[in-house]
Structure 1
Amino acid sequence: MSEAHTSAVGGTKSHRIYLLLKDAILSGRLPSGGKLPGENRLAEQHGVSRVTVRRAIKALQASGLVERKAGVGTVVLKQPLEATVMTANVSNLMPNMVKMSQASQVRLLEFGYAPPPETIAKRLGMAPNTKAQRSVRVRMVDGNPFSYLITHVPEKIALHYSEADLADTPLFVLLERSGVNVDHASQSISATLASHDLAQALEVSVGSPLISLTRVVFDEKGRGVEHLEAFYRPDRYRFQIDLERNGDDSSRYWEPRVGGMPTDSTV
């Protein structure tokens, strides 16, 4: 979202209503061609004034999400990004990284070598004062950014590939080309709010909700080979976990289905 769109929201309450309505539109809960509830109803639902609702709707208009039509109301517009939401199947994550690169483009923002933060060095099992290759990339689909990626790779591994390689080849592939036998990974998924840098790169307003992922990749000897911090726009990216029932009749349980179901686009 541009700064012009952000400034159109106004105060904190109207920004909250804007984000809630935007999420409902982009998720399909408010479908294209449908109408927003009236200002009075929205004001009652959210416990705010009509002026606050009007500001939020004005911001939705500035973002190209709705259109006011005389005698009809506020209509939800069709969104061109509805067909290009990226989906990551968590149960079959690592083998599908190459597919992501084929369906998206990357913009390399930073590339350099320096000792990583202490917490990252510990997660990778790196000795003190050892350098790591740090990169910052933005992934896009159809020219629209959906993820912001910060990676750290131990220097002795990263020296096998160049800045130009990272700009057009998935890091997972580069690691394997460097002789790394990737064995397993540990990752956590949470939520966060967009800082100024994240907001600018992902074209959202400061404070917008983002999906946050941290992943540490290990080789067959248990050595850390990559640390990833990833931030995703929830309106353009989602995670999918396919489950299956296992166990005896007396102790049935759910567990991730290996391979998962086919998805439009996986990482």
Structure 2
Amino acid sequence: MSSTMEPLKARRLYLLLREQILRGEVAIDERLPSEPALAQEHGVSRVTVRRALDKLASDGMIERRPGSGTFVSGGKTSMPVVADFSNVLTHLVEMGRKTGVRLISFAYVNATPAMAEELRLDPGERLQRSVRVRLIDGQPFSYLVTHVPERIGMSYSEADLASTPLLELLERSGLVAERATQVIGATLAGPEAAGALDLDIGAALLSMTRVVFEPSGRGIEHLQALYRPDRYSFHMDLERTGADGARRWTPADAVRASEQNNENKKNTRTKRPPPQRRTKP
């Protein structure tokens, strides 16, 4: 029983120490208590403490200095990848250029009824399915399962997909990504995702499902993405808008776009030539 509980205790201690470091309760370059002291403080064995510290060291959050002890490192305490939630399509292309990718599988499959409805496929239309892992500094942070209509997927090769962001491939084919819908939540890592992301089965993950549409209203991409929460996060700047009593939080980009639109309309009105007067013959 104790051998079964040992990994869970190590995971719990790892998360506790990690949160203390991220919150600044333990400063950068500050020395952590010794293994025996941590074991006594948290009521666990030294084996459990060692496992938790090994995980923190692999994350780059602590540094072991022989003869001196274990110290907090400032190397990787911040989130490696931060997604701009309000400008997601632009972020996708930029992230694709700055990160590495590993293509795990590539095939053409029949569409499920739900997938056919979401992408608004023609009856009997097949899908190209790919599974990729994205990496930052050689470390995996996302597990991506993508479905694209076969008529679109035929415009690029498996080799293209392994080296070029998918959205860039779609637009290179003449398609225009006009809008997207997405749902964000949380889930637990299954065996395949856990193995690809270097996690334990059942580890917590951020999840996102996104459908991208062209101007005609037809779907051109369906993405199911799983992210390691220690290496990826979503970010959005907000501003308070509206009249007193009805104020609300609005994405900052939307506020700026609205202000720019109003300014353009104002300039158009002021530049409008005066009406010409009719003269009597």
TM-score normalised per structure 2? 0.76
| 3-state SS, counterpart of residue 234 of structure 1 | coil
Q: % of aligned pairs identical?
A: 43
Residues 207 and 226 in structure 2, CA contact (< 8 A), matched pair in contact too: yes
The equivalent position to 2:105 in structure 1, one of 104, 110, 130, is: 110
2:222 to 227, 241, 245: 227
Aligned pairs for 1:1-267 within 5 A: 10-25=6-21, 30-34=26-30, 39=38, 43=42, 49-51=43-45, 54-63=46-55, 64=57, 66=62, 75-78=70-73, 80-82=75-77, 85-258=80-253
Distance in 2 of aligned mates of 1:158 and 1:232: 24
Contact 1:8–1:59 (Cα < 8 Å) also in 2: no
Count of residues paired in the alignment? 247
1:92-115 CA-to-partner distances (Å, cap 9, x unmatched) read 111222211221111111111111
Cα separation, 1, equivalents of 2:17 and 2:78 = 20
The answer (yes or no) to whether the contact 1:212–1:231 under 8 Å persists in 2 is: yes
Give the whole-Å Cα distance in 2 for the aligned partners of 1:166 and 1:131: 18
In structure 1, distance between residues paired with 2:194 and 2:23: 20
The SS at the match of 1:137 is strand
Residue 16 of structure 1 and its aligned partner are, at CA, apart by 3.2
Any conservation in 2 of the 1:134–1:150 contact (CA below 8 Å)? Answer: yes
Q: Which moved more, 1:198-207 or 1:150-159?
A: 198-207
Counterpart-to-counterpart distance in 2, 1:81 and 1:156: 42
Could you state the TM-score of these two structures normalised by the residue count of structure 1?
0.80
Distance 1:41-1:216 versus aligned 2 partners, 3 A rule: farther
In the superposition, relative to structure 1, how do residues 25 and 109 fare at CA in structure 2: closer, same or farther (>3 Å)?
A: farther
Change (3 A) 1:24 1:190: farther
Equivalent residue, structure 2, for 1:3: none
Distance 2:220 2:175 in 1: 8
- Of structures 1 and 2, the larger Rg is shown by 2
The 1:42–1:217 alpha-carbon spacing in structure 2 relative to 1, beyond 3 Å, is: farther
CA distance 1:68–1:93, shift in 2 (3 Å): closer
What amino acid sits opposite 2:90 in the alignment?
A: P
Please list every run of 5 or more consecutive structure 2 residues that lacks an aligned counterpart in the other structure. 257-281
Deviation at residue 154 of structure 1 after TM alignment: 0.4
In structure 2, distance between residues paired with 1:188 and 1:258: 20
Classify 1:169/1:8 alpha carbon distance in 2 versus 1 (closer, same or farther; 3 Å): farther
* Cα separation, partners in 2 of 1:69 and 1:95, compared to 1, 3 Å: closer
CA distance in 2, matches of 1:147, 1:34: 31
CA contact (8 A) 1:92 1:259 kept: no
User: 2:40 & 2:252 partners in 1: Cα distance?
Assistant: 43
Gaps of 5+ in 1: 1-6, 44-48, 262-267
Task: Report if the CA contact (8 A) 1:85-1:236 is conserved.
Answer: yes
> CA offsets, 1:108-135, max 9 Å, x none?
1111111133322221122454210111
Q: Distance in 2 between matches of 1:250 and 1:179?
A: 47
**Looking at both structures, which has the greater relative contact order when contacts are Cα pairs under 8 Å and sequence separation is at least 6?**
1
2:144 touches 2:224 (CA, 8 Å); kept in 1? yes
Q: Which moved more, 1:146-155 or 1:81-90?
A: 81-90
Distance of aligned partners of 1:68 and 1:82 in 2 relative to their CA distance in 1, 3 Å threshold: closer
